[in-house]
Every structure is written in C-alpha cells, then in structure tokens.
Chain A
Amino acid sequence: MKMKKSALIGFAIAAALGASAVQAADQYIGLPSYRVGPYAAGGTGIFGGMIDYFQLVNERDGGVNGVKLTWDECETEYNNARGVECYERMKKGGPTGNTVFHPLSTGITYSVIDKATADKIPVISLGYGRTDASDGRVFPYVFPLLTNYWSQNTAKIKFIGSKEGGMDKLKGKKIVNIYHDSAYGKETIPVLDAQAKMYGFTVKHVPVAHPGNEQQSQWLQVRQEKPDWVILRGWGVMNPTALKAAAKIGFPREKIVGVWWSGAEEDTIPAGAAAKGYISAGFNVAGTNYPVIKDIQKFVVAKGKTNMEDKSRIGSVYYNRGVVHGIITVEAIRKAQEKYGKGKSITGEQMRWGIENLKIDNAMLKKLGAEGFMPELKMSCLDHEGSGKVKFQQWDGKQWKVITDWIDADQKLVRGMIEESAAKYAKEKGITPRDCSKES
C-alpha cells in the first residue's frame, strides 16, 4: 500500500515536471478575435494573417529559438464588454500568462488599458487605439505601434500637398473631412484644424451617423461645398456607401483619400466601379509577391494549416496587416529572449521590454521577407509609436496599387500634441510619468 502511494506521488511529480517541461517551451498569446458580427471581415482577415504567421514561425523555424507559439481565440464580436471578458479569461493562459493582448478595437483598447497596466500585460494597438498612448512615459504597457491616427493624418496632408505641387500650394484649398460620428471618427479633427491653420487651407468636418449606410445628405453638402479634396474617415459599411454616393454626385474618386480603415478590398469591392481611382493610406501593402507571404503559402497553406477559410483573401490588405501584427509580436518575443534567456518563455513584463527595445530596420525586414511590406520601426521608452510612416495606395478597379514610397508624419506637430494630451491624462489619473533615462 505504502509502495503504491509512493509510486503515485512519484508519478504525479514526474507528470507535473513533464508538463512544465512541455509548457516551458511554449509562448502563449491570447487573441480576442471577432469572426462574426458587423466587423467580421476585418477580424477574420487580420487574425487570420496573424495566426498564419505564428504557424509559419512554428512550422518553418520550430518556434522562436525553439519556443513554440501557442494561442487561443476568444470571440468578442467587436463588443467592449466581451473584449474585457476575453482579456480576463486569457490573461493567465500558458506557462507565463498572456504575453501580449491585441484588442483590434479602439473601444476594447480603452477598456483594458488600466487592467493591462496593473497586470503587466502589453497591449498592442497597431494603427488604432489611443493616440496619446504613443507617450510611453505615461502609458508603459500600451503600444499604438507603427503609426497613430494623428501621424497618418499629417502624412495624408503631405500627400495632398505633393499632389497639389507643394505644401505652399495648399493655401486657399478646401478639404471636406467626412468622418464616422464616433470617438474614432472625431480623433483627427484637432490635428486637421491645426494643419489647416498651419498651411492656410479650409477644412469642413461632416459627420456621418453610425453605421453610415445612408450618406446622401453628406455628399450633397460635398457637392455644394465643391472641395478640392475629401478625406474619408470611415469604417465598415460607411466606406463603400461613401464611394457610391461620391460617384452619384460626380465627385472624382482620385480626390478622396481614406484612412487605412477605409482602405481594404472589403471597402472597395462592394462599391464596384464607383471605387476606381480612390486613394487610401496604409501602413502595410497588399499582394502576395513578398517572400514572407510566399513562405506562408509554402509552409502553412500548402500543408493545409492556414487559418483562412477563404484562401483568395491571402495577400489582401487585412490579411497582410495580420502578418505585420505577427512579425512585430514574434520579433518582440525574440528581442525579449535576448535579454531574459533564449529558448525560455517570457512574461508580459519581459515582453514589454522586448517591444520597447524593438528595432526593425530595412536589413531586418529583408531577412524577414517583408521589405517594402511594412515600414521600419524603432521603439523606445519614450516613443511607443516607433515609425509614423505611411504609404498611399490607389484602387485600380481590381486591386490596390501602391503609388508612393513611405511618407513621414509631421512628428514635430504630432509629438507636441501627444505629449500635451498624455500629460493631461497623467494629471487626471494621478500617474507619475516614468523617467526614460533610468530605463535600461
């Protein structure tokens, strides 16, 4: 009996050790995805691309320095309450807890900022979320990576300026800003107003009520205003509806410049011929002609391991954006392992260090098979954006064609506004900003 008991204890210890040995080689990422509901097209594309990249790293490289990536999905339906529920459900997953949280929703990002900061789990809001979180002194665990809304807006004005023949030619021009009447839509109004004052153009802000499936009155106002350019800050059904309404009043689509949430195939294909000529910003490009996508096709898709139900979407704007999410996540894990131990699972706190010290230059992008696919990136304690660069693409009736190189944001203007806003937030919340000179 005694022997039996000892054997059982021994077996239990061995099993526990064995389990932890297996778990130690895992790096868990909890994904709050949305595959049904109003924004499912974005959710399936972006999470599909991200998961395919994780799968590629596991299949081709055997993980990150031997540490296999594991993940769980939790359906949020783009709903804030569900997003928070998913965050809580997944935060203790894997051997070291959730490594990083990708809300893919500005609302969910706002909802989890305090929790994630307390739990020391980094939140990556790549191309969305709270713009002033770019100030890492006030928001140590939030990373609005690559480019925030204000940066892209200044790049957009630079693009319009270049089309007009120089920034000085913007004087006297008229721009209509058609925006989704929500916090997301309103986010760029202050920076546009500041730029209007700076360059001497006039800007009229025209809101569109959610969800934006009716825009006749807004576009009749555009017709009456006769602007030189229209900025489209839409989301979901608002985008194709806007393009069709523009066609109906005869406004040239090549004079409409959209944000990246208005610049996917899902925004143009439903608009049919009305979308031809339309321009949008983007921090990633579409297409399959990149080594990283070719590798995904070889190591993931060909083996029947792709997450994409509709394989024709591989290489689309949303899918490739998911791959960018994947690249940044994996490289930050790799960076963190350099400091905290190669081949070991890292914690959320260590991941934060990894993201904050991440540098992806062109040589590295080339190595990753993503040269020209996404901009270079250099993160720091102070700067949680890390790039601010934007490319512009034009819909030719069938696909997106890149029409510019990376255009820098007006960091002088944007950074000042970010620091001002972050300082205000810190005061409201009683946060003492970090001293970045003391961070190693």
Chain B
Amino acid sequence: MQFFFEVLIGGLLSGVMYSLVALGFVLIYKASGVFNFAQGAMVFFAALTFVGITELGVPFGFALILAFGAMILLAIATERVVLRQLVNQPQITLFMATIGLTFFVEGLAQGMWGASVRGLEIPGIQDEPLEWMMEATGIGVSKFDLFAAGVSAILVVVLAIFFNKTRVGRALRAVADDHQAALAIGIPLQDIWRIVWAVAGLVALVAGVMWGARNGVQFALTFVALKALPVLIIGGFTSIPGAIVGGLIIGASEKLGEIYIPPFVQSTFGIETSLGGIEGWFPYVMALLFLLVRPEGLFGEKHIDRV
C-alpha cells in the first residue's frame, strides 16, 4: 500500500508539471479562441533564452526578467506579423498559423542560442526526497516537485484573479466570444492579443524553467506540450482550474497505469514479453474516454448554439 501511495503522490506532482504547460494553452484559447500549437515551442524558446542569458553572467532573477522581456517581444511580433493579418479569419486559419509559428520559434531559439543541451539549477531547490517524510513513512516526495506544485498554485490564483476580477481580464473574455463585437464596443483587439500572448509567454517561461531544471534545457522541452493536450481535453480548454485538475488526473492515472496495467495484462493473458512504456499513449486513451462522455471537459463551457 505504501508503494501505491508513493506512485500516486509522485503522479499527482508530475501532473502539476503538465498543468504548467497546459495553462499557456488555456490562456490563449480563453482569450482568442485559438488553439496555440506553438505553446511547446514557446516553452523551449523561453527556457533557452533564460539559460542563454544566465550564461552571459546575468544573475538568476534578472535573467528571468530579461527572458520575460524576450517573451513580450515575441508576443508583440506574433500579433503584428501573424495575428493582425488574420482578424476575423476562421479558427482553423489561426490554428494553421500557429503551426507555422511553431517551426519558426523552434528555429529562432536554436539560431539565437545554439542547439547544445544545457543544465539548469534553481538555487536552493534540490530534486531529492524530503528526509523526514522518508524516515516517517518510507514514501519519497521530491522537494523540487513540491516547489513546482507551489509555483503552479500561485500562478493559478494570479491568473484566476486576472481573468475574473480585472478590466483587462473581462476584455480578454469578450474578445474570445466575438472579435467583431468586441471591436465594436471599443475593446482594442490588438492590445488584448499582445497582452494575452505575453502572459502565455510568462507561463511558458515558468514551465520552461521548471521542466528545464528537471530534465535539462534541450529541444525535447517542446514535447512536453504533447502531455498538455490530454490535460486540456479532460480539464476543458477554457478553464484555468480545469488545467490543474486535468493535470492531476493525467499524472496520477498514467503513473498508476504504467505500474499496474502491464503486470495485470501479462498475468491475465499469459503474455511473457515485457509490456510497459504505456505512458506515451495512456493519457490519450483517458482523454478519448472523457471526450465520449463529456466533450467539453470537466470544467469547460458547454457550447450551445441557438437554431
């Protein structure tokens, strides 16, 4: 039972890391109705820029600010060059544009900072188990994972306040509902898009630093976006708390699935070959099941069209 709880807790904390990436998708979708395929590339760009700046001798905190500045510039450039030209175009057009943006951002990041793999350490935070918990329960819970969970919680609270309690947040939601109507009542669409892409850039930076500290800053950071997709399907594309809950569900279920499903299948069907490695596809099966039962996700807005 102790092993079960260790897997469960580890899974939940891994799920929080997925949520960090999913939050960036939610922000842009919520504010513009666009599924930003480039979010993974933004995570990579942000982390690589941050590490590149620290390699120049800039202190950690100041490098974070400068990297955020780079994300703001990227947001402004995206709005000017891509989004502004596509106002009132179908959603699929905007989606395709973000696919193009993905390859551009990946190439830009490597062009600016090189393709070398870099290490990243967050000062004072070690990826090692809490000793007292290990001694008391035998369960290893990583200090780094707890730190990541804390950062995610803070981000969620700040973003929820931003969206629900501020004037800009309400404007963001209005733009998402109808570009033309928002323009008609005087909401500056271009400013709103710049803001939301910059905030998504901030979320990408936080996610990039966390994932980079865990696995190193390298191209594979773009792949973490793949795990955010099932999180979004389960949590709902428009819900910030949904991204967190979705992440927790995916994290816990994929870890428990990886440990317990292969031996179950092997013993039930008498298969001798080694199974496992199901973490890659298991979250998508979960997401598919959710789509069949609740297409809008747990916290998503139910879309009703008047006929």
Chain B residues with Cβ below 8 Å from A310 are 114, 116
In whole angstroms, how far apart are the Cα atoms of A213 and B280 in the complex?
10
- The interface stretch among A37-45, A108-116, A122-130 is A37-45
Interface centre among B140, B219, B259 (most CB of A within 10 A): B219
Q: A214-B279, A269-B119, A310-B116 are in contact. Are A38 and B3 (CB under 8 A)?
A: no
Chain B residues with Cβ below 8 Å from A220 are 3, 6-7, 10, 259
Does residue B11 face the partner (Cβ distance < 8 Å to A)? yes
Chain B residues with Cβ below 8 Å from A244 are 127, 214-215
- Quick check: B140 and A41 within 8 Å, CB to CB? no
Task: Identify B218's interface contact among A35, A221, A236, CB under 8 A.
Answer: A236
- The contact string, 1 if C-beta is below 8 Å from chain A, for chain B 122-146, is 0000011100000000001010000
- Quick check: B115 and A221 within 8 Å, CB to CB? no
- Quick check: A248 and B119 within 8 Å, CB to CB? no
Does residue A172 face the partner (Cβ distance < 8 Å to B)? no
Does residue A240 face the partner (Cβ distance < 8 Å to B)? yes
- Quick check: B106 and A270 within 8 Å, CB to CB? no
Chain B residues with Cβ below 8 Å from A221 are 259
Does residue B265 face the partner (Cβ distance < 8 Å to A)? no
- Quick check: B6 and A240 within 8 Å, CB to CB? no
Chain A residues with Cβ below 8 Å from B116 are 41, 44, 266, 310, 313
Kindly identify, within residues 246 to 260 of chain B, every residue whose CB is under 8 Å from any CB belonging to chain A.
Answer: 254-255, 258-259
Task: Identify B259's interface contact among A214, A217, A237, CB under 8 A.
Answer: A217
Chain A residues with Cβ below 8 Å from B219 are 37-40
Does residue A272 face the partner (Cβ distance < 8 Å to B)? yes
4 more A-B residue pairs beyond the given contacts A36-B110, A39-B219, A237-B216, with a C-beta to C-beta distance below 8 A = A38-B219, A209-B278, A209-B279, A221-B259
In whole angstroms, how far apart are the Cα atoms of A250 and B274 in the complex?
25
Kindly identify, within residues 218 to 232 of chain B, every residue whose CB is under 8 Å from any CB belonging to chain A.
Answer: 218-220, 222-224, 227
- Quick check: A213 and B274 within 8 Å, CB to CB? no
Interface size class of B (residues with CB under 8 A): 35 or more
Interface majority SS (helix, strand, loop, mixed), chain B:
helix
Minimum CB–CB distance for A265 against chain B, Å? 8
Does residue A23 face the partner (Cβ distance < 8 Å to B)? no
Kindly identify, within residues 196 to 244 of chain A, every residue whose CB is under 8 Å from any CB belonging to chain B.
Answer: 205-211, 213-214, 216-218, 220-221, 223-224, 236-237, 240-241, 244
In whole angstroms, how far apart are the Cα atoms of A272 and B144 in the complex?
14
- Quick check: A216 and B10 within 8 Å, CB to CB? yes
- Quick check: A206 and B218 within 8 Å, CB to CB? no
Chain A residues with Cβ below 8 Å from B6 are 220
Task: Identify B7's interface contact among A206, A208, A217, CB under 8 A.
Answer: A217
Does residue A249 face the partner (Cβ distance < 8 Å to B)? yes
Does residue B14 face the partner (Cβ distance < 8 Å to A)? yes
Minimum CB–CB distance for B258 against chain A, Å? 4
Kindly identify, within residues 91 to 116 of chain B, every residue whose CB is under 8 Å from any CB belonging to chain A.
Answer: 106-107, 110, 114-116
In whole angstroms, how far apart are the Cα atoms of A169 and B119 in the complex?
38
- Quick check: B216 and A271 within 8 Å, CB to CB? yes
In whole angstroms, how far apart are the Cα atoms of A214 and B254 in the complex?
10
- Quick check: B218 and A41 within 8 Å, CB to CB? yes
- Quick check: A270 and B117 within 8 Å, CB to CB? yes
- Quick check: A213 and B279 within 8 Å, CB to CB? no
In whole angstroms, how far apart are the Cα atoms of A217 and B256 in the complex?
8
Does residue A50 face the partner (Cβ distance < 8 Å to B)? no
Q: A220-B10, A236-B218, A237-B220 are in contact. Are A272 and B276 (CB under 8 A)?
A: no
- Quick check: B280 and A38 within 8 Å, CB to CB? no
Q: A36-B106, A248-B129 are in contact. Are A270 and B217 (CB under 8 A)?
A: yes
Does residue A181 face the partner (Cβ distance < 8 Å to B)? yes
Task: Identify B215's interface contact among A181, A206, A213, A247, CB under 8 A.
Answer: A213
- The contact string, 1 if C-beta is below 8 Å from chain A, for chain B 275-307, is 011111100000000000000000000000000
- Quick check: A248 and B278 within 8 Å, CB to CB? no
- Quick check: A217 and B274 within 8 Å, CB to CB? no
- Quick check: B216 and A248 within 8 Å, CB to CB? no
Does residue B179 face the partner (Cβ distance < 8 Å to A)? no
Minimum CB–CB distance for A82 against chain B, Å? 14
Minimum CB–CB distance for A49 against chain B, Å? 14
In whole angstroms, how far apart are the Cα atoms of A155 and B17 in the complex?
39
Instruction: Please name 30 pairs of A and B residues whose Cβ atoms are closer than 8 Å in the assembled complex, sorted by A.
Output: A36-B107, A37-B219, A38-B220, A39-B219, A41-B117, A41-B218, A181-B277, A207-B276, A208-B277, A209-B278, A209-B280, A213-B214, A214-B227, A216-B10, A217-B10, A217-B258, A237-B216, A237-B218, A244-B214, A247-B128, A248-B128, A248-B129, A266-B116, A269-B117, A269-B118, A269-B119, A269-B216, A271-B119, A271-B216, A310-B116
